[in-house]
Chain A
Amino acid sequence: MASNIEVEPGATKESVLIPSECLENFDHMSSSLEEIKSENNSSVGSTYEESNFVNSNTDNFEDAIDKEENGSTPEYDLGNSTEWTSKNKHIFVLSSAGKPIYSRHGNEDKLAWLFGVMQALVSNIQSSDDTLKSIHAGDTLFVFMNKKPLILVAVSKTGECVNQLTLQLNYVFNQITSMLTLTRLNKIYEQRQNYDLRRLLAGGERLIDHLLDFSEKEPAFFLGAVQCLPLASSVRDSISSAIIGACHKIKNLVFAILLAKNRLITLVRMKKYYLHPSDLHLIFNLVQSSESLKYSQHHWTPFCLPRFDASGFLYAHVSYLADDCQACLLLLTVERDVCDVLSEAKQKIVEKLRRNNCLEPINESIATPEETAVNAGFAEIRHYLYKCKSTAQFYQPSLAPPYSKEKMRLIEIYKRSNQQLHNTARPLKLIFERSANEAIFSWDTTAFELYVVFEPLIDIACAIDFVTKLLNWVKKREDKLFHLNAPTF
């Protein structure tokens, strides 16, 4: 079958993002900050000891008086708490010493005993030089991630597999890192094993909460890719050049990112430096979960991109373009005191975009939902995901019945297929599955991944025919659907 399809929709020589394998190991982190600073002779000193943006109080390590030492927190009586037990996914974060840091549902203090049990399990297995990975009990899956200095646990009834839950835990870990930097996180626990990290993360729960919801319903996460806002390539190019024009003289500006409606519009980067999709997901998460950004002129915040460099902060200038254009611009730099310079640059960008009539196409694309597969002429295709591997970008049509009302079921279908293709020990190239509800075609090639959900009774020859046509359809529109140029400052 591969022989009759030579198109590789969305492929390009140079990518704006680092190509990603969706479930790859996240441990690898590059160190870019030092390099940038030394190359550009940055005037700024070390950023590592920067105070945290979500908590402006400078912490004093000495004053930590543990809440439960005060001794008055009663245990949660879970026997009566059916609401708590019936949640379909719990996420817990604790320190290696068993101190509660985060619980998705319920109050961590009241669950302190449970955190204690989890820590005991992990350390018990650790004592025999082994690592606890997962526990399986009927519909409930427990996944443990021991990522020093933290322990992360997922308890899920969603049918997701170990790898997918591990991926989600990794995102939570990265989210915490993005607020503190890994260096700081390690230092804190080196100095005080019993430290209550919640004091530093105050306000950060919101980001984690949102990240969890976000990562559960967006294909971007398990695909390890981002979706672009459809725009004519000429418009996208002129937006990019507007940004380059306004910023190319600003020293140490690493990335400029424009996004809207959870879609990437453009990404301009410093030569040699690339952004990893998982870092970009954290940026999307930051923008999405901060409603207040819309009402303030701009926001200036330290933000660590764990895959880019987990050791230190970048500084993000975050603002919406204009009242009449709800696209969000992020300018990321290594300099901690250039907020004003960047505000100025932003103004220039907006003016330029307005002059070149770029705001209307953006607004128009934001307001226009993507076509459904059926409307695009694929009668028996209900929905699909196309991911171009080399650019880490994907495209999906609008939801159509029967999934408009059960999006989560569709996502589950995709997650399952994705997992089957990428099974660690027994990876597959192609899957065609048929149940009473739908027929699913999943295909992993060197260039792309494709997941198509068909009507359940489709004939196989017919399905193959649709797949070929679909790939050609995407190819024809690749200029619009994908960000094919990789502009640099």
Chain B
Amino acid sequence: MDNKKNIEIKNFFIFNSSYGAKENEEYKKILYYYPFGESTEIQIKNIGLVEGIVQFTETFRPSSYVSSLHTNKLRQLYFQPELNFWIVMTLSVPLVTKIKDSVSSNEYMEEDIQDNVYEAILSQAYYMYRLFWGTLEQTLVTGNADILRNRLDTFFNAYLKTVKLSNADILNLYGGIQYLPLDRQTFLKVQCFVNLLESSYGCIEEITFLYNEHVIWSGIEPNDMKVMYQYLIGMLLPANIETELQGGSMPRNSPFATLKRGRFITGPTNLKQAKTVGTVPRVYLFSNDCFKEHHLAVYRCLSATVCIFIKGDTNLTLELFKELDELINPRLSCVVAEIAEYCSKQIMPSITSGDTIPKFIYFNKINLAYKSTIHLDNKQTENSTCSKDSLKIMADMKDQNEFLGRAGESIVKTKNDYWVVGKNSNFREFYIVLQTKNANLIKISEEVKKLCDNELKGIFFHPF
């Protein structure tokens, strides 16, 4: 019987290579180290090895610093987010143990770990930290190394538990955002609502408006939005929807009113009973190379989520939240109703068999928009409509994009006789999986052409 051991985090550490230069003070370099039980000696040794590798590779003047190290059993990934700060993640290579004639043999599935995918996960971890705590350097300037160690501990101990390794794929590479396209009228209503809020309160800097898991309006920079979106979709909203579902007894008492009534999900979540403003996270948005601190108040009503970025120096009071609630609630429920109505009209003709839906992923580098009919949800579960291998082939193709230049396409047929097609042009990427029986290259290219016409009307691809 075969036994498979999945990819796992073997260790994850952060250090500053300019610290602890003196002998016997190397431990000062360590800022964060997971797993916690590891002896300082081993921690120092592992950091020493990374420093050695960095130095060795620099000898040959690579175009960028070292990003990964492959051994038979492990994969180590490196990320230097700020000068002298290194974040290192070591993964165990998936292992298949085959037992044949009562002799077991290990086979390490090295190619199962795609560097580009896991590098994206590593840098994502840093950007998520930075969203809440600012740069590492900043903490050192305003505080000291011990404060930094504390913050890293608090953040990463929790964060590492949420990292999903085994189902990571090309979507991690994009860190894309799903948008909801609206008609002009409805979009204008959202815009009016956003403008009203912003102009009513000087302390409100930016607003982001989501419906379900789709962004309708975002005032913040795309790169910030990318991280923000991951935080909302991956952490904040799922946790909240769970509590909403658990509080199932509430609607019975006051059936409609409670349901329709919106509420803050960060800050005072129950305004009637609240005595303080509760916890409002601080976030750091980076634009034009400088960062600004904000309070992040998130308001949720029906399926809509409104993120309000309040100036960092604002004194948050319960009054402010009550006023906001008064202002937001009646207007937002109207806007949401209209969006819901619009969406209900747009529902695609129902599809009966899963096989007939074209399976594709689309990504636009300019606005980070993505669309996938391959992933059935946003949660990185096993839920996808095509094999893991075809997703891996897409990530392989993406790695080759540079070679194809600014515009190119590739069509490949796998050993299992399905086809994966990648197109890339004008900063847009489009990947399709086709499982047509007995197809040939000509048929496939025709099918892809049809698909582009149907699904991506008006999006410019080079007319190959």
Contacts and interface: CB of A to CB of B under 8 A. Distances in A.
* A and B associate in one complex: yes
Interface string B446-464: 0000000000000000001
Interface stretch (B49-57, B125-133, B340-348): B49-57
B404 A435 contact: yes
Please indicate which of the listed interface residues A118, A121, A423, A426 has the most CB atoms of chain B within 10 Å of its own CB: A426
Contact of A437 (B109, B405, B409, B440): B405
A137 B412 contact: no
Interface stretch (A37-45, A125-133, A290-298, A322-330): A125-133
A86 B112 CA distance: 33
Contacts of B429: none
Report which residue of A137, A431, A460 has the largest number of chain B beta carbons within 10 angstroms of its beta carbon: A137
Interface string A237-260: 000000000000000000000000
B68 interface: yes
A427 B53 CA distance: 31
Nearest to A118: B56
A461 B111 contact: no
B74 interface: yes
B405 A435 contact: yes
Interface string B26-69: 00000000000000000000000100110011011111111111
Interface stretch (A138-146, A217-225, A399-407): A138-146
Contacts of B331: none
A464 B111 contact: no
B65 to A, nearest CB: 6
Contacts of A125: 71
Contacts of B413: 428-431
Interface string A453-468: 0000100110110000
A125 to B, nearest CB: 5
Contacts of A434: 404, 408-410, 464
B56 A117 contact: yes
A112 to B, nearest CB: 14
Given A137-B57, A423-B396, A461-B442, A433 B410 contact: yes
B406 interface: yes
Contacts of B393: 426, 428
A: interface residue count bin = 35 or more
Contacts of B63: 137-140
B76 to A, nearest CB: 9
A135 B66 contact: yes
A136 B408 contact: no
Interface residues of B, number: 50
Interface hub of B56, B72, B409 (most chain A Cβ within 10 A): B56
Given A138-B64, A426-B392, A464 B441 contact: yes
B407 interface: yes
A424 B72 contact: no
Given A124-B49, A136-B66, A155-B60, A432 B410 contact: yes
A437 B405 CA distance: 9
Given A424-B111, A430-B441, A431-B410, A131 B72 contact: yes
A120 B64 CA distance: 23
Interface of B is mostly: mixed
Contact of B411 (A121, A134, A140, A431): A431
A475 interface: no
A138 B49 contact: no
A7 to B, nearest CB: 18
B405 A135 contact: no
A437 B403 CA distance: 10
B441 A432 contact: yes
A416 interface: yes
A425 interface: yes
A114 interface: yes
A138 B67 contact: yes
Contacts of A1: 440-441
A117 B58 CA distance: 13
Given A131-B71, A436-B406, A460-B445, A428 B56 contact: no
B72 A121 contact: no
B62 A138 contact: yes
Contacts of B417: 429
B154 interface: no
Interface string A342-356: 000000000000000
Interface string A410-454: 000000100010011111111111111100000000000000000
Given A137-B66, A138-B63, A426 B389 contact: yes
B415 A425 contact: no
Contacts of A135: 53, 57, 66, 68-70
Contacts, number: 146
Nearest to B392: A426
Interface string B408-426: 1111111101000000000
A92 to B, nearest CB: 11
A457 B392 CA distance: 28
A139 to B, nearest CB: 4
A420 B400 CA distance: 10
A236 B57 CA distance: 52
A121 B64 CA distance: 20
A432 B411 contact: yes
A85 interface: yes
A136 B56 CA distance: 12
A429 B414 CA distance: 6
A355 to B, nearest CB: 53
A136 B52 contact: no
Contacts of B409: 433-434
A85 B60 contact: yes
Contact of B70 (A90, A133, A436): A133
A456 to B, nearest CB: 9
B322 interface: no
A423 B74 CA distance: 20
The residue in B109, B403, B441 that gathers the most chain A C-beta atoms within 10 A of its C-beta is B441
Interface in A88-136: 90, 114, 117-118, 120-121, 124-125, 130-136
Contacts of B49: 124
A367 interface: no
B57 A428 contact: no
Interface in B242-257: none
A397 to B, nearest CB: 23
Given A137-B67, A138-B62, A155-B60, A428 B415 contact: yes
Nearest to B389: A426
B169 interface: no
A341 interface: no
B73 interface: yes
B57 A134 contact: no
A78 interface: yes
B396 A426 contact: yes
Given A425-B112, A434-B464, A140 B60 contact: yes
Contacts of A85: 59-61
B408 A435 contact: yes
Interface in A149-187: 155, 157, 159, 162
A229 B440 CA distance: 35
A254 B47 CA distance: 55
Given A78-B59, A121-B56, A460 B441 contact: yes
Contacts of B406: 436
8 contacts: A130-B71, A130-B72, A132-B70, A134-B69, A135-B66, A425-B111, A431-B413, A433-B410
Given A114-B59, A135-B53, A136-B69, 7 more contacts: A130-B71, A424-B111, A427-B414, A432-B412, A434-B409, A435-B404, A464-B440
Interface of A: 1, 78, 85-86, 90, 114, 117-118, 120-121, 124-125, 130-140, 142, 155, 157, 159, 162, 416, 420, 423-437, 457, 460-461, 463-464
Q: Which 9 A-B pairs have the closest CB atoms?
A: A425-B111, A138-B64, A138-B63, A140-B62, A137-B62, A139-B63, A137-B66, A430-B413, A433-B410
Interface of B: 49, 52-53, 56-57, 59-74, 109-112, 115, 389, 392-393, 396, 400, 403-415, 417, 440-442, 445, 464
